[in-house]
Amino acid sequence: MGQLKSLIQIPQGSKAVVKAIRGGYGLVHKLQSIGIRDGKETEKVSTGIAHGPVGIRCGNTEVAIGFGMVKKVFVEEV
């Protein structure tokens, strides 16, 4: 089992499995509503410039998520 990293720390184009979301109920609920939840494979498709939004693909869904939210999603690279 690999080391957990924040989703912001993995390189663009990397795939990872979500292991934990470290935030309050509102953050967890918002991310789960767009398909980002424990056990789901995600791919970081783009990185924002200067703490801008980060593009994430989870299943068939591709979304841009704010830097602050992405920092709280912890993953294990595959």
Domain count, the chain: 1
pLDDT above 90 for 57: yes
Token digits of residue 63: 């979304």
pLDDT-derived band at 58 (thresholds 50, 70, 90) equals: very high
pLDDT above 70 for 1: no
pLDDT above 90 for 59: no
Show the domain range for 42. 5-77
Domain at 30, CATH number: 2.30.30.90
Stated pTM of the model: 0.90
**CB of 70 closer than 8 Å to CB of 10:** no
The pLDDT tens digits for 5-31 are: 999 999 999 999 999 999 999 999 999
Token digits of residue 29: 């609920």
